[in-house]
Chains A and B, each alone.
Chain A
Amino acid sequence: MKTVTLTVKKEPELYLECETLTPDAFAGKKADEIAKIPAYQGREDTTLGEYFSIAGQAGASAAETQIIINGDCSKMKYIGAKMSAGEMIVNSDTDMYTGGWMTGGKLVVKGNVHSFCGLGMEGGEFIIEGDAGNYLAASYRGDWRGMQGGVLRVKGNAGSDICTFMNGGEVIIEGNVDIHIGTHMEGGKIVVKGNANRRVGGQLVKGEIYVFGNINVMMPGFKHNRDVELEVDGTKAVFAEYLGDLGERHPKRKGETVYGKLYLKK
């Protein structure tokens, strides 16, 4: 695996859209070629070389390429969006759409991310060492496909509206979350190790939500089913199982109605 190191040399005046900052776009390119890859600031067309100093060389394919980004990326959008393979390490905060629609590879952000990160993610591993904003692992506006697959781990807190329309994959939030978790969810698994504010699993069709801490207000459409002992992300404990959302439509399988499940650690 070959490594390309990017260091921010100029902060964008507005916000820089760099969806081209992925192992896929870099594959097979040398530093001077990478510097010519386009990036955008409003309607102004610019290049990555304008904002980053670039060292090293990319591998022959995305899978053989590692990208390390240093410097302040808090005004840069779409970092690692749509990446399919390889590895990226960002030693900074990042702005919106980080890791959106990624299908493979590994993306590590050693800072906070803004909203809409991991949007519609299909595969790979995405680790956020700080906090995440709103709409984490949700769907793009109007789309009915949120996160489809892969693993997304947030070591800090996350905002509201996370995992909207999620239908696959796994999201682990080690801190707290705000309102609206897994709204319209049709599959996948959400683990919240801290507290959840309100509206957990509203309009939940299918899928599993685990909350280790408290939920401030429970949705009226959930009913207690039973207590079960489970091992969730390395923690073994007894969980209260709730079925819901009873106000929402639910599919049938082998004559049995399939409900969404909400587990609250006892």
Chain B
Amino acid sequence: MTKVVKDVICPFCGTLCDDVEITVSDDNKKIISVRNACAIGAEKFNHTSLPGRVTRPRMRQPDGTFKEVSYDEAVDWTAKTLVNARKTLMYGWASTSCQAMSVGHEIAEKIGGIVDNCATVCHGSSLIAIQDVGVPSCTLGEVKNRADRVIFWGCNPAHAHPRHMSRYSIFPRGFFTVKGHKGRKIYCVDCRYTDTARCADEFIQVQQGYDYELLNAFRTAARGEVLPDTVGGVPKEKIYEIVEELKGGRFGVIFFGMGLTHTMGRNHNIDIAIALTRDMNDFTKFNIMAMRGHWNVTGSGQVLAWQYGFPYAVDLSRRTKARYQTGETTSVDLLIRNEVDACFNIATDPGAHFPIDSVVSMSKKPTVTIDPHINMSTEISDLHIPVAMVGVEVGGCAYRMDNVPIETRKVVDPPDGMLTDVELLTKINERVDELMGAK
């Protein structure tokens, strides 16, 4: 007999859909089918039973091949590497639970590591802007139930957050939004016509790299000042018209993505978008939200900020104080400048996302990667430690993109003898204690 697990939290993107239904075999070992999740989310669940999954740690041999080792050997090697290094980059954390992060940070404090998460190549610039000017934001539930002016700026949820539009931002009928899509006016600002733009009522094509100028023009128009004839390829009449429409809404929200955070100006683009949101609050209720991508990256920011005051790139190398400076203590800069002498990756794949120079730099240092799967980072690592998949084989706390914590559910058992992130990190922490006590 199979059984159905309801209300499962999807472990893929920052939307953290909480209505997934999974059919599992009666011995609790195999996933039979996945309902309600998007294609990417379903694949994430199905991954667990793919053939060829690594279930024991693998150590790089002098000839370049991997050899299976025990968890104890892997823990010992990792702890020794961490204790011997002067500055270790501890990168990742986005696909694991907040409980695992807290154990990881304990290790980082002892060994003077630098804890960074994948915001560093994603929404880190949003966090800089939020730190500079604050953020008027809301939850996704409020968007669903209230929003009648929705702007997607430099983001493409149709592909990156496939169920975002149907669950929260465009189509759902909510308490004050009974007409669903018809009651909302959707704007899409992008430099190209995306699939999200196809769902929008208004597509505003901005010239690439002119987002800051266009946002400045919106602010200037909101204050009733004069504008040049076109800004970033958008005629001034259009800008005035949109500003009036936004002012006339009851509840507006701006969703933004990599089109703002990783084009020219980066944090400044977000900074001025937040400033526009603040300005619009003189006329109506307006909010802004980052389209956080990697599942629990928001949680990593939350835990780091709660423990050390900074949301990513936290440098604990002085041990008496936490420091943070994007451009200095961020992973890519540390690697390119050769400022660290060991790397510890967990639950994220820098090999696939970092610039090639930093990946080359990482491959030359002692590197351990903790990840359920074989990926590009495990292939440049000296040690790969597989663990149970958080959100599928073990529960734990994760944060949604609107900073709402959600306790995720275990669906199936991990392969026999496989450790979870928390168990593995606790073992490493204990071994670090032993080694440092002996020093």
Chain A contacts to B: CB under 8 angstroms: 13-15, 40-44, 96, 115-116, 134-135, 140-142, 144, 161, 165, 179-180, 183-184, 198-199, 202-203, 217, 219-221, 223, 245-248
Report yes or no: B220 in contact with A199, Cβ–Cβ below 8 A: no
Q: How far is the CB of B277 from chain A (nearest CB, A)?
A: 13
B213 touches A219 (CB 8 A): yes
Taking the closest CB of chain B, its distance from the CB of A245, in whole angstroms, is 7
Interface of chain B residues 127 through 152 with chain A (CB within 8 A): 128, 131-132
- CB <8 Å contact, A179 and B213: no
Nearest CB in chain A: distance from B233 CB, A: 12
Contact indicator B324/A246 (Cβ below 8 Å): no
User: Nearest Cβ distance between residue A31 and chain B, in whole angstroms?
Assistant: 27
Nearest CB in chain B: distance from A198 CB, A: 8
Closest partner residue, chain B, to A40 (CB atom): B318
- B219 and A221 contacting across the interface, CB-CB below 8 Å: yes
Interface size on B, residues (CB 8 A): 43
| Given A14-B338, A42-B112, A247-B225, A199 and B268 contact (CB-CB distance below 8 Å) | yes
User: Which partner residue on chain B sits nearest A183 by CB separation?
Assistant: B268
Output the nearest chain A residue to B264 by Cβ-Cβ distance.
A179
Contact A141 B220 (CB under 8 A): no
28 contacts between A and B (CB under 8 A): A14-B341, A40-B317, A40-B318, A42-B86, A42-B87, A42-B317, A42-B341, A134-B327, A135-B327, A140-B325, A141-B324, A141-B325, A144-B132, A165-B132, A184-B271, A199-B212, A202-B272, A203-B216, A203-B272, A203-B275, A220-B213, A220-B217, A220-B231, A247-B216, A247-B218, A247-B279, A248-B219, A248-B275
- Whether a CB of chain A sits under 8 angstroms from the CB of B201 is no
Instruction: Using known A-B contacts A42-B87, A141-B325, A142-B131, determine if residue A199 contacts B217 with beta carbons closer than 8 Å.
Output: no
B contact residues around A116 at 8 Å (CB): 325, 327-328
B216 near A180 with CB under 8 A, answer no
Contacts of A245 in B (CB 8 A): 216, 220
> What is the bound-complex CA distance between A220 and B326, given in angstroms?
29
The chain B residue with its CB closest to the CB of A161 is B268
A199 touches B340 (CB 8 A): no
**Which 7 residue pairs of A and B lie closest in terms of their CB atoms, listed nearest first?**
A43-B112, A247-B219, A42-B86, A42-B87, A142-B131, A247-B220, A246-B225
B220–A221 touching, CB < 8 Å: yes
Specify which chain B residues have a CB less than 8 angstroms from the CB of A220 in the assembled complex.
213, 216-217, 220, 227-228, 231
Q: A220-B216, A248-B275 are in contact. Are A202 and B87 (CB under 8 A)?
A: no
CB–CB A203/B327 < 8 A = no
> Given A15-B339, A142-B132 in contact, is the A179-B265 Cβ separation under 8 Å?
yes
Q: Which of B223, B228, B337 contacts A15 (CB 8 A)?
A: B337
- 1/0 per residue, CB under 8 A from A, across B247-288: the answer is 000000000000000001100100110010001000000000
B272 & A141 in contact (Cβ 8 Å cutoff): no
With known contacts A43-B318, A202-B268, A248-B219, A14–B225 Cβ distance under 8 A? no
Shortest distance from the beta carbon of A177 to any chain B beta carbon, whole Å = 14
Cα separation A135 to B228 with both chains bound (whole Å): 29
Residues of A within 8 A of B264 (CB): 179, 198
Name which residue of chain A comes closest to B131, CB basis. A142
Q: How many angstroms between the C-alpha atoms of A43 and B111 in the bound complex?
A: 8
Residues of A within 8 A of B128 (CB): 141-142
Instruction: Indicate if the CB atoms of B86 and A180 lie closer than 8 Å.
Output: no
Question: Taking CB as reference atom, which chain B residue is nearest A160?
Answer: B265
**Does A96 lie within 8 Å of B328, measured CB to CB?**
yes
Q: Which A residues lie within 8 Å of B3 (CB)?
A: none
15 new A-B contacts, CB < 8 A, other than A41-B86, A203-B216, A247-B217, are: A14-B87, A14-B340, A15-B339, A43-B87, A43-B112, A116-B327, A141-B326, A183-B271, A198-B264, A202-B216, A217-B210, A220-B216, A220-B227, A223-B225, A245-B216
Scoring A41, A116, A140, A248 by chain B CB atoms within 10 A of each residue's CB, the highest score goes to A248
